[in-house]
Amino acid sequence: MNHDPLQAFLDALVSTTGKPVVPTSQGGYISCCPAHDDRTPSLSIDQGEDERVLCHCHAGCSFEQICEAVGLRTADLFPGAVSTSTQLPDATENTELCRPAVADSDRKTFPSVDAARQSLESHLGPATGRWDYCDANGRHIGTIFRFDRTRKTFRPVSRTDGGWLLGGMPEPRPLFHLPELTAAKCVFVTEGEKAADAVRSLGLVATTSPHGSNSAAKADWTPLAGKDVVVLPDNDEAGRVYAEAVVEQLERLDPHPVVRVVELPGLGDSEDAVEWIDASQSASVEEIRAELESLVETTVTVTPASPEPDMIRFQPFPTHLLPEPVRGFIDNGARAIGCDPSYLALPMLSCLAAAIGNTRRLELKRGWTVPSIIWTAIIGESGAAKSPAFRLVTRLLTAVQERAFEKHSAASRDYENDLANYEKRHAKWRSDEAGDTVPPSPPISPVAERYLVSDTTVEALAPLLLENPRGLLLARDELSGWLRSFDRYTAGKNGADAAAWLSMFNGETLTVDRKTGKPRTIFVPNASVSVAGGIQPGILSRSLGIEHRESGLLARLLLACPPRKPKRWTEADIDPTTELKVVDLFKRLLELRHAIDREGRSQPEIVGVTPDAKAAFKDFYDRHAEEQTDLCGDLAAAWAKLEEYAARFALVIHFARWAADDPTLGTPDTVDLASMEAGIGLAEWFKQETRRVYALLSESDADRDRRRLMEWIERRNEPVTARDVQRGCRWLSESAEVAEHALQDLVDRAFGRWRRVDSKSRGGRPTREFVLNPSPPSTQPQVSG
């Protein structure tokens, strides 16, 4: 049968986006692009003279991204690409058919899976296969349909709140037959649902990941942690690649599963467990199962490598724990600047905490309330994009501060006029010898509403805190000056300043006796200052001496030091709508007001926790305490502060959700489970990053070079040879032997492995390349809901 690439592409577009393809007057077509959030058609389609498909996304999506989104290979858009599955390996089965990146509200929904199937069948013909996916509770959440036209074609359908959509399930996707996996001791993994069902027919537990061999990394493999897992690859290159990808995902689990990769004997090209079982039809089910179990017993296990504890790999900041629109702002900003999201996330946490300030405190139990105060510092070399990221976040408060200054300037001008009039009236009152008449009242001097400060001296801060009882944010692009102001904490003026700063971390009372100015003594009931800024690693190491470690300053600082990224030009920018939403969020937070006690004094309003949120914090508290018993020194001090930081994060996230009108939020007066789990997740991330940063601060020259090599390999995101390392790493450029020795050191320490290759591009000589082991999985809890 002749292959019609244009019709195949148009059919795939319709079934993927759920939107029509419209002919143009010039003879081509326009459609919504399936590779990005396309609300108006931006994809132009035409056909070249050689009948190949020509398409162009005016939003900038690449040809490869468009093909991937509709589940086609780039070769499929050329005439004669595929006619039968015997000529070329089937690509559709092994191609992820992504859920289109458009809002659910803009996509057509169907009342049932069958209604969605009927829509697909109108373009693809009758479905020849169906496989349902469920969540851990057995709820049907997705279906894969198979269609046999000129070749096998698979189309996913997924459940949403509004019905059923054409497109894949959200990531991470569930494994096939997920409810059966919990109680199983041994699980077989195949490539494809049909093969999994064939193995299940033997009375065994079997599963696969949805959407073919290229999507193993997009599935949730955690249900297989600690189990015996048997991977049965298809007998082709794609099958072996899939098996390697599955093993790589399983190696990330904790506890590690016992993994075996069993190649079934006697398979022909591209055959799998289905053909192996069919070939044994003369045998009983029990005999076939016994033969398979015998193959498993004689197969050597794959032993996952565990990195040494003294080298902690950087984990990306868990932006998924932050509510919208904050999450979108950080993700967009990181792409626009070309930096790690943590460069924006840390100052954002401090800014949000300062915006809430003293107006709210979270009560964990009677006598234990936590303030909305967060101290963060980003560590990076000069030129690592710390400053652009810092300015992008703090300008949200800076804009509000500038308007407050403008308002104060206008009020000050009015005050000067009122003061002049008052002095005239008062002079007249005195000259008239008014006797018992009441003298005129002087005007009240306006107070500038302050949100941001940069001066680090306590004497300068005290009057500002007195005038601004909600608290302040110390925002300094470079925190080195702030650290220097602490000096020795044990004696002298700077010692008093250090003690005052440490008390401000908890929002405690502050008393300052001034030598000049009025009043001479300033008393601030709840002195609250959040801190945000950046610092270079060398300066941080020199600034954080023993005095700052012993005083607890280091433990109070939340630090992050993401690996440096190479700069790349990008046209990406912050979505103006997202930025406006974040500005509105800050404005609403700044409208929060204190509670007033019986004496008319301002006090923080106390916020409670729901029972399930409290239970989650209690579980975290107990686990955290167990960890802390094994720590000493700096880490023990940091763990003592991170315990409460989880609750501080929960308070900040809760009110960020409130200010963004999160529909899942019950009441602003009580922190719920979703906010608490997000706060705990952030604390878990900071625990790992704290271990890593503290190790960086004390690493030897050899440790530093080893870390730099691993970060260089991670940035390349591909296997490397000793020659690549020699050319790319200046400190290892002496010879290929020196570079190979450095790579062998990583192998010896279980950070990677050698893989032999035979590449014609290397002169046809067999060689080997180094493959970095995947970093361990993130342990962040997911947000509920």
- Angle at alpha carbon of residue 502, lines to 399 and 537, rounded to 5°: 70
CB burial readout 121-138, b (16+ within 10 A) else e: eebbeebeeebebbeeee
Residues 113, 403: Cα–Cα separation, whole Å: 54
In the chain, what are the domain boundaries? 5-166, 178-302, 327-405+448-607, 702-772
Residues 145, 126: Cα–Cα separation, whole Å: 10
> According to the model, what pLDDT value does residue 160 have?
87
Q: What is the DSSP letter of 455?
A: -
Residues 656, 349: Cα–Cα separation, whole Å: 10
pTM score: 0.56
Instruction: Tell me the residue length of the chain.
Output: 785
Sheet containing strand 368-371, edge to edge, reads 368-371, 360-365, 605-609, 670-671
Q: What is the DSSP letter of 748?
A: H
Residues 355, 585: Cα–Cα separation, whole Å: 10
Residues 220, 207: Cα–Cα separation, whole Å: 12
Q: Amino acid identity of 332?
A: N
**Domain spanning 178-302: which CATH class is it, in words?**
alpha beta
- Angle at alpha carbon of residue 321, lines to 65 and 138, rounded to 5°: 80
Parts of the chain with a pLDDT under 50 = 1-2, 81-106, 305-309, 488-493, 761, 766, 778-785
Tens-place pLDDT, residues 135-156? 888 889 999 988 886 567 778 8
**Domain spanning 702-772: which CATH class is it, in words?**
mainly alpha
- DSSP conformation letters of 91-146: SSTTS--PPPSS-GGGS--BSSHHHHHHHHHHHH-SEEEEEEEE-TT--EEEEEEE
**Do residues 90 and 116 lie in contact, with contact meaning Cβ atoms separated by under 8 Å?**
no
> According to the model, what pLDDT value does residue 479 have?
84
Distances (CA, A) of 449 to 199, 442, 732: 70, 21, 55
**3-class SS at 12?**
helix
**3-class SS at 584?**
helix
**Domain spanning 327-405+448-607: which CATH class is it, in words?**
alpha beta
CB burial readout 187-217, b (16+ within 10 A) else e: bbbbbbbbbbbbbbebebbbbbbbbbbbbbb
> According to the model, what pLDDT value does residue 309 have?
44
Residues 6+ apart with CB under 8 A from 391: 477
- Dihedral pair phi/psi, residue 90, rounded to 5°: -65, 130
* Angle of the 458-467 helix axis to the 492-504 helix axis, nearest 10: 30
Tens-place pLDDT, residues 388-434? 888 899 888 888 888 878 887 888 888 888 888 888 888 887 777 65
